[in-house]
Amino acid sequence: MPAATTRAASSLAADPEEPPVRKLYRSADGRLLGGVARGLAGHLGLPVAWVRFLFLGLFFTDGLGAVLYAVFWIVVPLGVGGVDAPRSVFEVSADGRRKLRKPDKGQFVALIALLVGAAVFVANVDMGSEADRYIWPTLLIGAGSVLVWRQADNARRARWMEVGRHRKLLHLARGLAGVALVGLGLAVFLVVRGSAAQLGNVLTAAIAVLTGIALLAGPYLVRMTQDLSEERLMRIRAQERAEVAAHVHDSVLHTLTLIQRNADEAGEVRRLARAQERELRNWLYNPEGTGKDEDDEPETLAEAVKRAAAEVEDKHGVPLEVVVVGDCPLDEKLSAQMQAAREAMVNAAKYGGEGGAVQVFAEVEGRTVFVSVRDRGPGFDLDEVPGDRMGVRESIIGRMQRNGGTARLRSVPGGGTEVELEMERASE
Amino acid sequence: MTENTEATGGPERRVRVVLVDDHRMFRTGVQAEIGRTEETGVEVVGEAADADQAVTVITATRPEVVLLDVHLPGGGGVEVLRRCAPLMGAVENPVRFLALSVSDAAEDVIGVIRGGARGYVTKTITGTDLVDSVFRVQEGDAVFSPRLAGFVLDAFASTDAPPVDEDLDRLTQREREVLRLIARGYAYKEIAKQLFISVKTVESHVSAVLRKLQLSNRHELTRWATARRLV
């Protein structure tokens, strides 16, 4: 097999030397029309000229070569591979200066040569005067659709390589030329048919137009849908992976480094690990919350409760288990309640943290918002708290009362303290 | 769960357990923490790392309780529950499942409960509480963590659509109260004291909630959590 390396392949980072599964692709590189001959030659390990001559030869047996070529073009996907031809007839530049070669020039020459050849062939073969008038329009249509098919390949190829501005123009021009040719062919078809037989004109026109549209749109539709679904899947996967990687890199690795550095300080390690766990958990199981910045003010009750608990947890090194039932937007009264709840959490963490996790429960039921903060510490009696200690009386009970809510402090059977805060939501 | 006081019980209480978790480290940890049979009464008779293996091991050893991870290769805990359904329903020595997961996602939790698990606890649970939960499940009782109680309250609170079956699709006032106290971190004993009922009554309420959760016709039950922004 001749050297299978192509420029397209090497630019694609794939290993083109020895592909694991040999699959037939049309060659995207150095092709004249659809890359069928090159691809086939590469696949079979034959010189590309042989294949081309074979197709040309077959073309003269009632156009079988053309049909065969067209079928290959439609069915076989465009890929890398094929062979490096020992310089084609239409290309003048030397092998050492391949970069300067413009494949499009060769393709256009090939196309024109093909058309001329076909014309000569048609002119030489006498098919009778009746058939004669169909040949030119048919050829025009064929040429137009070949151009458009070719365009569909370029749309695919454009993603592999950057397409320059002039190339984009070229593509546009080629597309338009294809459409024009098909249109012209159909028009001539109609004129010829129209003068020949008035009957069935409408039918012919309809069929002609439909065929034209199908010819134009067919390749795009088929290839686009194939490409799009494949590409979308790849993109989604890549995006997901990138997101996970970014997250793991940014925060988890960072935390691990900090933990290694602070290995001697148990409290700090615990705090870091807990903060990281919370963040990762939030990110994994609460996807809609990920876009939110830490600095943003919370807008809903659930967010506010979780935020307050996280802050207290970080600051005091005591785990807080948060359960929220229902949710509602924060208003002024609820913000006051949140401040009271935060104070209660701080108290619980400070004085009751040794008994285990502090339990925070918030529930929205109708217009009532209920928050309870409970610890399993030694508990305390409010009456025994000296009057100058304002924490509980002012920050919790006083604040709730000023805003029209109630606060209740009580010792729980079995030990610990529970603060219950109840507030009516402001009417909208 | 949070019931510390009653705890492990003596050697006269025995329970055979299978651990299903794809992390070997975690299985080793749980084994070390609860598997000291002389002290805890828990005997780990088998371990499995994926769904297929789990079904094989459970069928072969016929344990009384399976500690089941929610996320597993080969279909997850739900798949194991589905394939073990005949064992769960057996009249003699039914196999009971306790979901044990690191996951916080309501869909995961509700998924395994609807699949037939008798309870759900998170992996942050202490060894003593886990042993207690295992015995509770063995006795046919339900085990709710505070978080699961929160999920359930939320699920049954959002009654936009008229219930298909009144009995199943609603929680009674008492059941709600019990769940709310569980969500607030109360142990069964504390709940009983708080509501002036016996621990047995608390247990029967919790079991009733579990049954409603498993049998309820509410189609949106597994979907509600994602629609509402829960913990």
B126-151 mean pLDDT = 88
CB of A286 less than 8 A from some CB of B = yes
Model confidence at B96, pLDDT cuts 50, 70, 90, reads very high
For residue range B30-63, list pLDDT tens digits in order: 888 888 877 888 889 989 988 899 999 999 999 9
Which residues in chain B touch residue A418, judged by CB atoms under 8 angstroms apart?
Answer: 184
Helices (H), A197-298: 201-247, 254-261, 266-285
Q: How far apart are CA A44 and CA B155, in angstroms?
A: 65
B168–chain A nearest CA distance, Å: 20
For residue range A320-330, list pLDDT tens digits in order: 889 988 888 88
Q: Which residue ranges in chain A fall short of pLDDT 50?
A: 1-20, 81-103, 162-163, 199, 289-293
Which residues in chain A touch residue B104, judged by CB atoms under 8 angstroms apart?
Answer: 281, 284-286
pLDDT at A361: 94
Is the separation of the CB atoms in B191 and B209 below 8 Å? no
Contact A321/B229, CB-based, under 8 Å?
no
Task: Tally the C-alpha atoms within 13 A of residue B170's C-alpha that lie toward its C-beta.
Answer: 11
Which residues in chain B touch residue A310, judged by CB atoms under 8 angstroms apart?
Answer: none
Q: How far apart are CA A9 and CA B113, in angstroms?
A: 53
Q: How far apart are CA B5 and CA A413, in angstroms?
A: 13
Q: Which residue is closest to B148 within chain A, CA to CA?
A: A323
Q: In the structure encoding, which two tokens stand for residue B200, read together?
A: 């047995």
For residue A367, the one-letter residue type is: R
Contact B231/A324, CB-based, under 8 Å?
yes
B185-207 mean pLDDT = 90
**Which DSSP state fits B220?**
G
For A421, the enclosing helix (H) or strand (E) is: strand A417-424
Query: Which of B147, B184, B230 faces A374 most closely, judged by CB atoms?
Result: B184
Which residues in chain A touch residue B229, judged by CB atoms under 8 angstroms apart?
Answer: 286, 288-289, 300, 302, 327
Query: Which of B150, B193, B194 faces A323 most closely, judged by CB atoms?
Result: B150
pLDDT at A422: 92
DSSP string, B75-107: THHHHHHHHTHHHHT-SSS--EEEEEES---HH
pLDDT at A226: 82
How many Cβ pairs within 8 Å bridge chains A and B? 68
Say if residue A234 is exposed, middle or buried (CB neighbours under 10 Å; 0-12, 13-18, 19+): exposed
* Chain B residues interacting with chain A (CB cutoff of 8 angstroms): 5, 103-105, 146-147, 149-150, 153-154, 157, 180, 183-187, 189-190, 193-194, 228-231
Query: Which of B157, B184, B190 faces A414 most closely, judged by CB atoms?
Result: B190
pLDDT at B198: 92
Whole-model pTM: value is 0.59
Strands (E) located in A307-389: 320-325, 358-365, 368-375
CB of A307 less than 8 A from some CB of B = no
Q: What is the CA radius of gyration of chain A?
A: 38
Predicted complex: ipTM over 0.85: no
Contact A302/B230, CB-based, under 8 Å?
yes
Which residues in chain A touch residue B153, judged by CB atoms under 8 angstroms apart?
Answer: 325, 363
Q: In the structure encoding, which two tokens stand for residue B188, read together?
A: 């069964």
For A139, the enclosing helix (H) or strand (E) is: helix A129-160
What mean pLDDT value characterizes chain B? 81
Contact B187/A322, CB-based, under 8 Å?
no
Which residues in chain A touch residue B187, judged by CB atoms under 8 angstroms apart?
Answer: 414
The answer on pLDDT for B98 being more than 70 is yes
For residue B65, give the nearest of B43, B48, B37, B38 by alpha carbon: B43
For residue A185, give the nearest of A208, A206, A216, A201 by alpha carbon: A208
Is the separation of the CB atoms in B141 and B215 below 8 Å? no
Phi, psi angles (nearest 5°) of residue A270: -60, -45
CB of A361 less than 8 A from some CB of B = yes
Is the separation of the CB atoms in A55 and A114 below 8 Å? no
Q: How far apart are CA A114 and CA A33, in angstroms?
A: 10
- Site of tokens 């609807």: B114
For residue B163, give the nearest of B220, B112, B116, B230 by alpha carbon: B220
Which residues in chain B touch residue A306, judged by CB atoms under 8 angstroms apart?
Answer: 231
B79–chain A nearest CA distance, Å: 21
Q: How far apart are CA A6 and CA A19, in angstroms?
A: 13
Contact B185/A374, CB-based, under 8 Å?
yes
Nearest-5° Cα angle at A67, A65 to A70? 105
Contact A285/B104, CB-based, under 8 Å?
yes
DSSP string, B14-75: -EEEEEE-S-HHHHHHHHHHH--HHHH-EEEEEEESSHHHHHHHHHHH--SEEEE-SS-TTT
Query: Which of A281, A326, A413 faces B190 most closely, judged by CB atoms?
Result: A413
In 10 A of CB B7, how many CB atoms?
12
Q: How far apart are CA B192 and CA B206, in angstroms?
A: 12
Q: What is the CA radius of gyration of chain B?
A: 17
CB of A281 less than 8 A from some CB of B = yes
B158–chain A nearest CA distance, Å: 9
A229–chain B nearest CA distance, Å: 26
Phi, psi angles (nearest 5°) of residue B195: -100, 5
Contact A359/B184, CB-based, under 8 Å?
yes
Local structure of A412: helix, strand or coil: coil
Contact A325/B153, CB-based, under 8 Å?
yes
Which residues in chain B touch residue A322, judged by CB atoms under 8 angstroms apart?
Answer: 231
Model confidence at B7, pLDDT cuts 50, 70, 90, reads very low
For residue B150, the one-letter residue type is: G
Say if residue A162 is exposed, middle or buried (CB neighbours under 10 Å; 0-12, 13-18, 19+): exposed
pLDDT at A52: 80
Which residues in chain A touch residue B127, judged by CB atoms under 8 angstroms apart?
Answer: none
Q: Which residue has the higher pLDDT, B182 or A298?
A: B182
Which residues in chain B touch residue A321, judged by CB atoms under 8 angstroms apart?
Answer: 146-147, 185
For residue range A17-70, list pLDDT tens digits in order: 444 455 677 776 666 667 777 778 877 777 777 888 788 777 777 767 777 787
CB of A151 less than 8 A from some CB of B = no
Q: How far apart are CA A381 and CA A383, in angstroms?
A: 5
Interface of A with B in 316-345 (CB under 8 A): 321-327
Contact B229/A306, CB-based, under 8 Å?
no
B71–chain A nearest CA distance, Å: 13
A359–chain B nearest CA distance, Å: 6
Contact A361/B183, CB-based, under 8 Å?
yes
- Site of tokens 């597309």: A175
pLDDT at A157: 57
A235–chain B nearest CA distance, Å: 25
